[in-house]
Structure formats: structure tokens, C-alpha cells
Amino acid sequence: MSQRTMELEVMRYRPEMDDKPFFQTYSVPCEEEWVVLDALNYVKDEMDRTLSYRWSCHMFVCGSCGMVINGEPKLACKAFLRDYDGKIRIEPLHNFPIERDLVIVQDDFIEKLESVKPYIIPKQEKPLSEGEYLQTPAQLKAYKQYSMCMNCLLCYSACPQYGLEEKFVGPAALALAHRYNMDSRDVGRSAREHVVASHDGIWACSFVGACSQVCPKDVDPAGAIQQVKFSSAVDYLTSFLPGGKR
């Protein structure tokens, strides 16, 4: 097995003892097939028990281990050491308060997720005895991509708008709203509109597209936001037509 020593510069912050964050360097003997998460686990087990970070599945589905690696928001379980030279700088996700070391406070995101009513709002409740709703593969495809979001928050870390204005509902929550709006079983779009189409919703997005670039699941939140902008604008314009809401 071939090993090489990597320098991990890890941002540390323990609110009970540190005035401000600082970097701590660990020299870690790494296996060639490791990901950054494996190197952090080595530090935790063999070098420094006080380092804290979140992780669980190690297979890109739980979304726990988002961090900024050499300036890019990444999942630590999907950041292969083979793609880095000898030094790696690891920071907590940007645009969130640091709770401790690489652990960020995500209350704000959870509130935003809840605010977009991310669940099916049916036209009327269908009794179970009538079986499933029919949904063709084409209807499934209309929203499937937006259902792949695992809430890893890389997009919030990359989003310049969220960095400037934390009231912005943000990429993942807006993409999730769009996921339900596009679902053939759902009629809840108007119930979501007051959050989604608000000043802090889609219209705050400056369409830089950084969210879609960093998304590890190709959810394309930027594309979702553009689609919602278009349909909301159409709604607004048609409201002036005879029979419209205005």
C-alpha cells in the first residue's frame, strides 16, 4: 500500500476557549484511496480527540460532512486525496455561524426548509383503498432532479447572495419548493408562493449559478429558481388579462 503524508490545515474554534477561529496543522499519513474524511478520522482517532466535525454515511447520501476544502464547498467523503497535492486547507461551510470547529449552526436553513411547505398539498385527499396516484415516467422526470437534494448546504456556502443577505430563502429550499410545485400530485404552488416569490425568495437570486456548480447531486437549484421566476412572471402578467386575479 502506498502512503503519503498530507498536511491538513484545519480551522479550529472552540467557543468556550478560543476568541476566534484559527488554523491547526496536522501531518497525516494517508492511504492513496482515502477521501478527506478518512484523513480527518485518522486525526480524530490517532492525533487529536478534540477535533469535531459531522459525518455518517461515507457514501454521499446523508449530507452531513459538507465543508470548505481548499476554498471549495465539498462533501469530505467525496473529496479524494488523489485530487490534491500535499497540503489541504479545511474550513467549515461559509455563510453560517460556527458552532465548533468544522460544525456549523444550521437552524436558519432548517427554518427556511420548513417555510416552503415541502410536502404534497393534494387537490383532495385520496383514500388509500383507491391505490396510488398514476404518475408517468415523464411526470416523474419533471421534478425528480429537484428531489435529489440531501440538504448538505454546499449551495448556501457557495451562494454570494446568501452571504450578503441571510434573509434570502436560498438555493436548496427554493429548489425543494419547485420539486413539489412540479409534482403532478401537488396543487400547493399558491400556498408556497408568498415565501417562494417574495422579496427574499426567487427575486433575490442574482443568478450567479454557484449553487449548481457545487451541488454534488446535480440538483441545479439555479435552474429551478430561473424556472420559478419565469412561471411567477407569467402568473403576474396573466393576472392583468380579462378574467385575471386583478
Partner 1 sequence: MKVVNTDVVIIGAGGAGLRAAIAVAEADPTLSIALVSKVYPMRSHTCAAEGGAAGVVKETDSLDYHFNDTVSGGDWLTDQDAVDLFVNEIPKELTLLEHWGCPWSREDGGKVAVRAFGGMKIMRTWYAADKTGFHMLHTLFQTSLKYSSIKRFDEYYTTDLMVDDGVCRGCTALEMRSGEMTLFLGKSVIICSGGAGRIFPFTTNGAIKTGDGMAMAYRAGVALKDMEFVQYHPTGLPGSGILLTEGCRGEGGLLVNKDGYRYLQDYDLGPPDPWPRLKAMELGPRDRLSQAFYHEQKKGRTIPSKWGDVVHLDMRHLGEKKINERLPLVRDLSISYVGADPVTDLVPVRPVVHYMMGGIHTDINAATPMSGLYAAGECACVSINGANRLGSNSLGELLVFGARAGAHAVEYVKTAGSMERDSLIEKQAADAESRIKALFKRSGGKQRVAALRRDMNMTLEEGCGIYRDENSLIDTCTKIADVRARYRDVRLEDKSNVYNTDLYQTLELGAMIEVAQTVAISALQRKESRGAHQRLDHVTRDDENYLKHTMAYHNANGDPRIEYADVVITKSQPAARVYGGAAA
Footprint on residues 161-220 left by partner 1 (CB under 8 A): 176, 180, 183, 185-186
- Helices and strands per DSSP (H, E), number in the chain: 9, 7
Does residue 40 contact residue 8 with C-beta atoms inside 8 Å?
yes
Extract long-range pairs of 22-30: CB within 8 Å, 24+ residues apart.
23/89, 24/48, 29/3, 29/4, 29/5, 30/3, 30/4, 30/5, 30/6, 30/81
What is residue 137's three-state secondary structure? helix
Tell me how far, at minimum, the Cβ of 225 lies from partner 1, in Å. Answer: 19
Footprint on residues 83-112 left by partner 1 (CB under 8 A): 99-101, 103, 105-106, 110
Tell me how far, at minimum, the Cβ of 209 lies from partner 1, in Å. Answer: 22
Which is closer to partner 1, CB of 49 or CB of 245?
Answer: 49
Tell me how far, at minimum, the Cβ of 236 lies from partner 1, in Å. Answer: 27
29 sits near partner 1 (criterion: CB under 8 A): no
Q: Is the dihedral of CA 61, 67, 70, 76 positive or negative?
A: negative
- Per DSSP, helices labelled H in the chain are 36-42, 107-115, 137-144, 154-158, 160-164, 171-181, 189-196, 210-214, 221-238
Which is closer to partner 1, CB of 125 or CB of 241?
Answer: 125
Choices 148-156, 158-166, 199-207, 223-231; region in contact with partner 1 by CB under 8 A: 148-156
64 sits near partner 1 (criterion: CB under 8 A): yes
Which is closer to partner 1, CB of 5 or CB of 136?
Answer: 136
Which stretches of the chain bind partner 1, using CB under 8 A? 1, 14-17, 33, 44-46, 49-64, 78, 80, 99-101, 103, 105-106, 110, 113-114, 117-120, 122, 126, 128, 131-137, 139-140, 143-144, 147-148, 150-151, 176, 180, 183, 185-186
